[in-house]
Chains A and B, each alone.
Chain A
Amino acid sequence: MRGRDDDGAGLGGLLTREVKVVAAGASVLADALAEQAVPVEPVEWRPPAEDLAGDLAVVMGDRRRADANAEAVRRMLDARPHLVDVRPASEVLGIERGAFLHAGPPLTWDRASGPMRGALIGAALFEGLADTPEDAERMLRTAPIDPCHHHRAVGPMAGVVSPSMWMFVVEDAESGGTAYCSLNEGLGKVLRYGAYGPEVIERLRWMAGDLGPALRDAVRAHGPVDLRAIMAQALHMGDELHNRNRAATSLFVRELAGDLAEAGGAEALRFAAGNDHFFLNLAMAAGKVSTDAARGVPGSSMVVAMARNGTDFGVQVSGTGDRWFTGPAGVPDGLYLGSYGPADANPDIGDSTITETTGVGGFAMAAAPAIVRFIGGEVPDALAATQRMYEITLAEHPAFQVPILDFRGTPVGIDVTKVVRTGLLPVVNTGIAGRVAGTGQVGAGLVSPPAEVFPQAVRALAEEATITP
């Protein structure tokens, strides 16, 4: 809402200011105004695909909504995520040996996709809980598995976390909240894409034994690393912070290089510097701590999590607590590595959609023209993708800007009512995992959440709205 110079007549200056009109609906009425040389801003209105008029009106009429959304988006945008420590999952997440975390909404082994099963198998082998993949599979049928999101954590792709893995510890200097994300393994045959061969397990052991402690020592020596500042700069340098993290990784490595060297972490430095996606996990933890700050505002229709487990795509909304609204995860549309094709692709997977939830990733596509063709588009498409997202969001990010859009803040704070009203789905940039356990990454591209999750959320908000119009 905009402040207005009101006069005695009130009505927002209806009778005193120049008549300018927003017109939604029949074009003949907008045309009649244009013929009178009246400035008109037309709305390209379309009916929602589902008959939600009643529930939508209840939610739109909820007197708490406007303030609740303002509060939720304020908390998310006020967050000042800092990397403060690097510690083993067993110490910070309270998960016991034999338990595992995974990406996305809740899942059972029976419904788990190939890469999810592969990553769980790899984690079981890494933890020494099984000697062979077959043993691991038997053990995993009954092992406790739980979403990362339920433990203030996020994980890319399969997002599997076991107690011996090391985690970035990110604190919000504003709210005091904490969030966690695993360390990025690099590209190729990696656990998060469902690979569990010997080289994968060996790398995980090195990360837990060397990389984690070296990073811990360096971060402790350096003091808190301001992730928001790095992300803001990286957007000016061609990253969108989901599929392109090259600039952010460089900035982060530069920031920590001296302390890593002093901590004896030359190999760690080489590893981080050689992995263009090293920063992704930090951007994710920063996103998680920001969205967690915005959870639980009664009446708010703002999305606080979008996450996929390789089978389901789930969203959570500030005003509906920890409830997940889920639908089948789609197969991303994009480009494939080597001889891989769409038939090799697993449905969408990973918590990395926390980046889009916080106004980067696909929402900042216009900031990353360098990777537009990688995901099968042209530069104007990238600008259009970001511009379209303003139609479904509550705010423009005060720190994350898109230079080519005249430094406009990125669209942030997805409002489920706007998604349902416009039929525009959040645009997500993502990697594509192979559908067979052990394959690894097969491509990268774009994906949308299943359309039905947003009407579910609107219906739940309508039920929850205690004050109806």
Chain B
Amino acid sequence: MSEPTRPSRRLDTLGTKELVEVRPGAYHDSVTLMRAGRRLTERPGVSAALTAMATTLNVDLLAEMGFTPPRGARPDDLLVAIRADDEAALEAARAAVDELLATRAAPRAFGAPPPARTTGSAARRIDATVALISVPGPYVFAEAMDALEAGLNPMIFSDNVPVEHELALKETAARRGLLVMGPDCGTAVIGGVGLGFANVVRPGRIGLVAASGTGAQQVMSLLDEAGAGISHVLGVGGRDLSAEISGRSALQALRALDADPATDLIVVVSKPPAPEVGDLIRAAARRLATPVRFGLLGEGGADLTAVAEDALKAVGAPVPSWPSWTPAARAHAPRRGRIRGLFAGGTLCAEASIVAGATPHEMTDLGDDRYTRGRAHPMIDPTLRLERLAAETASDANAVVLIDVVLGHGADPDPAAALVPLVRDARVPVVVSLCGTSGDPQGRDRQARALTDAGAAVFASNAAATRHAVTLAEGS
């Protein structure tokens, strides 16, 4: 009467060093699987490994990695593929999979209910206000509808949610007086609680409506540094201010923050909206009792730091000089050339490109879909960026390498640890935009010192970091 357990089948063994295994019905979330795959790859003697659900995408990825894809695997089957130098390493890695994927089954009291299997079921068990949804995009709709029907506000972390699903969810939310945060919403702070990737910020009077995840993290971190603090950060998703979605969530969020007695100033952080949506939002903002400032990246030359400074002025708070940490000695003679940006934060990447302006630069957002296929976001899994960083800091094509390090809940617990050796060995100057607060679990200042000791110049302001990179790239 318990769940059927089916034995795993070894479908294919090529030579003695490679295996592809299908484990029917053994589901794990993508982040857990990616981390397990990374750990396997780090094992001695293992040259390649993939642990992933057998979706079409992942089966293709398996083929690209040179494995023979199994036939007849279903999306709810687990794929385990390992390539190793010898049989012993292969067998050891295979044995390690179970340990890496072991779920921490809580001891259950006699008759205690099994875990909830849908958002609706979980919502009946807790008096929640938020459903944090990070299932694969095409499956988000059912979970988010469950949340709305139970009176919960969905925060949709997932990307790849069809736009028609987003529209239907936001229309339903409007009818029910709820807010859909997302899709592709990486950040929210509600009553001091960080959801998704969020920095630990002191409570304050400024509320953010954010259509941009790392943009909001930059602004909230700077406001925290200035001592102003944050009431709430309501993410609305990168597509909310498009013509199709027409700011449905932004309008809901504005009204909610207007009614919130803790919020004295609202800042809308976004890339420039579709023109007609911009007009709509501005018109709605004018009707509110609470003043609203628009921090629209690139519009009128605004950068995120300027947005934070504008907000501080609006509440009459002093603008501090933003922290920076410079290495004791310059390790590299300046020379003119290109800025090479390697970013985990999409908005930080876009901002760097805007600030760099005419200075030769190539900014890459490694959190873009093109790079996250079959991998976790670089804020969770830094492997790809570390590889790129090693290559770019060894290249004579670059005058300076600019990277961001985003701290906070959900992010890598010690990002500097992996970066330090690469910065130390770099043949070009490395500039770091360090987005975080002194309250973040990683410890912003400790991260900054580690990076500075290795020779990097570190800035709390992404715009300031980029300007410093520009100075270096211009040969001064």
**Is B371 in contact with chain A by the CB < 8 A criterion?**
no
A26 pairs with B134, CB closer than 8 A:
yes
Q: How far is the CB of B227 from chain A (nearest CB, A)?
A: 22
Known: A36-B194, A381-B2. Contact between A56 and B117, CB under 8 A?
no
Whether the pair B157, A48 counts as a contact (CB closer than 8 A) is: no
| B129 contacts A427, C-beta separation under 8 Å | no
- Could you say which of A42, A57, A446 contacts B165, with CB atoms under 8 Å apart? A57
Bound-state CA distance A418–B149 (Å) is 14
Task: Check: A165 CB closer than 8 A to any chain B CB.
Answer: no
* A45 and B143 contacting across the interface, CB-CB below 8 Å: yes
Does A424 contact B117, Cβ atoms closer than 8 Å? yes
**B74→A21 contact, CB < 8 A:** no
Q: How many residues of B contact A (CB 8 A)?
A: 80
A418 to B123, CA, bound (A): 14
With beta carbons under 8 angstroms apart, the residue of A2, A10, A47, A404 that contacts B53 is A47
List the B side residues contacting A4 at CB < 8 Å. Answer: 151
Tell whether B158 is near chain A: CB-to-CB under 8 Å: yes
Query: Knowing A9-B256, A22-B126, A57-B165 touch, does A28 contact B111 (C-beta < 8 A)?
Result: no
The answer to whether the Cβ of A456 comes within 8 Å of any Cβ in the partner chain is no
Tell me whether A17 and B111 are in contact (CB under 8 A).
Answer: no
B149 to A1, Cβ gap below 8 A? Answer: yes
Asked whether A391 and B117 contact (CB < 8 A) given A57-B165, A61-B141, the answer is yes
- A19 at the binding interface (Cβ < 8 Å): yes
Residues of B within 8 A of A33 (CB): 132, 193, 195, 409
| CB of B157, distance to nearest CB on chain A (Å) | 6
In the assembly, what is the distance between CA of A22 and CA of B118, in Å? 10
State in angstroms the CA–CA spacing of A362 and B172 once bound together. 36
Q: Is B396 part of the contact surface with A, judged by Cβ < 8 Å?
A: no
Task: List, in ascending order, chain A residues with CB within 8 A of B120's CB.
Answer: 418
Interface check B75, CB cutoff 8 A: yes
Q: Are A22 and B134 in contact (CB under 8 A)?
A: no
Query: How many angstroms between the C-alpha atoms of A377 and B2 in the bound complex?
Result: 9
B147-164 interface (Cβ within 8 A of A): 147, 149-153, 157-158, 162, 164
Give the interface segment out of A238-246, A247-255, A382-390.
Answer: A382-390
- Asked whether B1 lies within 8 Å of A446 as measured between CB atoms, the reply is yes
Q: Does A417 contact B (CB under 8 A)?
A: yes
In B1-31, the 8 Å CB interface with A consists of 1-2, 25, 27, 29-31
Q: What string of 1s and 0s marks CB contacts (under 8 Å) between A395-428 and chain B?
A: 0000000001100000000000110011110010
Contact residues, A17-54 vs B (CB, 8 A): 17-30, 32-33, 35-36, 38-39, 41-51, 53-54
User: Judging by beta carbons under 8 Å apart, are B121 and A390 in contact?
Assistant: yes
B421 at the interface (CB under 8 A from A): no
Tell me whether B177 and A6 are in contact (CB under 8 A): yes
Contact B132 A30 (CB under 8 A): yes
Instruction: Report the separation of the CA atoms of residues A48 and B139 in the bound assembly, to the nearest whole angstrom.
Output: 9
Tell me if B142 and A377 are in contact (CB < 8 A): no
A24 to B2, CA, bound (A): 23
Q: Which residues of B contact A382 (CB under 8 A)?
A: 1
Contacting residues, chain A, for B409 (C-beta < 8 A)? 32-33, 35-36
Please name all residues of chain A whose beta carbon is closer than 8 Å to the beta carbon of B191 when the two chains form the complex.
Answer: 15, 18-19
Are A20 and B30 also in contact (CB < 8 A) when A11-B256, A15-B260 are? no
With both beta carbons as reference points, the residue of chain B lying nearest to A366 in the complex is identified as: B111
Q: Which residues of B contact A11 (CB under 8 A)?
A: 129, 153, 177-179, 252, 256
Choose from A32, A36, A380 the contact partner of B110 (Cβ within 8 Å): A380
Smallest CB gap from B135: residue in A: A25
The residue that A53 contacts in the complex, of B115, B131, B139, B259, with Cβ under 8 A, is B139
A14-B118 contact given A28-B380, A423-B76, CB 8 Å threshold: no
Name A's interface SS: mixed
Is B114's CB within 8 Å of the partner chain A? yes
Contacts of A25 in B (CB 8 A): 29, 132-135, 157-158
A60 contacts B177, CB within 8 Å?
A: no
Q: How far is the CA of A44 from the CA of B117 in the complex (A)?
A: 5
A13 at interface, CB cutoff 8 A: yes
Question: Please, how many angstroms separate the alpha-carbon atoms of A151 and B147 in the complex?
Answer: 40
State A421–B192 Cα separation when bound (angstroms). 33
Taking the complex as formed, is A94 at the interface, i.e. its CB lies under 8 A from any CB of chain B?
no
Contacts of A49 on B, CB cut-off 8 Å? 74-76
B117 cross-chain contacts in A, Cβ below 8 A: 43-46, 391, 421-422, 424
Give the residue among A6, A14, A21 with the most B Cβ atoms within 10 A: A14
Chain B hits for A378, CB < 8 A: 1
Cβ of B461 to closest chain A Cβ, rounded Å = 25
* Residues of chain A with a CB closer than 8 A to B119's CB: 22, 24, 43
Q: Given that A11-B177, A15-B190 are contacting pairs, would A41 and B129 also be in contact in the complex, using a CB cutoff of 8 Å?
A: no
A266 within 8 A of B: no
Q: Which residue in B27, B111, B129, B194 is a CB contact (below 8 Å) of A12?
A: B129
Is A14 a contact of B195 with CB atoms below 8 Å?
Answer: no
Name the distance in Å between A274's Cβ and chain B's nearest Cβ.
Answer: 30
Closest to B198 in A: A32
A370, CB-defined interface residue at 8 Å: no
Given contacts A10-B259, A15-B190, A391-B117, contact A22 B141 (CB under 8 A): no
Whether B151 lies near A47 (C-beta < 8 A) is no
Judged by a CB distance under 8 angstroms, whether A376 is at the interface is: yes
Q: Is B118 touching A418 in the complex (CB atoms < 8 A)?
A: yes
Complex-state Cα separation, A13 to B135, whole angstroms: 25
Asked if residues A422 and B118 are in contact (CB atoms below 8 Å), the reply is yes
Contacting pair B118 A390 (CB below 8 A): no
Known: A25-B133, A384-B114. A1 touches B232 (CB 8 A): no
- The answer, among B27, B123, B193, B260, for a CB contact under 8 Å with A22, is B123
A9, B141: Cβ atoms closer than 8 Å: no
Query: Does B394 touch A at the CB level, under 8 Å?
Result: no
Closest CB in chain A relative to B233 CB, distance in Å: 11
> CB within 8 Å of A: which residues of B?
1-2, 25, 27, 29-32, 53, 55, 74-76, 110-111, 113-123, 125-136, 138-139, 141-143, 145, 147, 149-153, 157-158, 162, 164-165, 167-168, 171-172, 177-179, 190-191, 193-196, 232, 252, 255-257, 259-260, 262, 380, 409-410, 441
Q: List 20 A-B contacts (CB under 8 A).
A: A1-B149, A6-B177, A9-B260, A11-B129, A11-B153, A26-B29, A26-B157, A33-B132, A39-B128, A41-B128, A43-B115, A43-B121, A44-B114, A45-B29, A56-B139, A60-B145, A380-B111, A384-B114, A387-B111, A469-B165
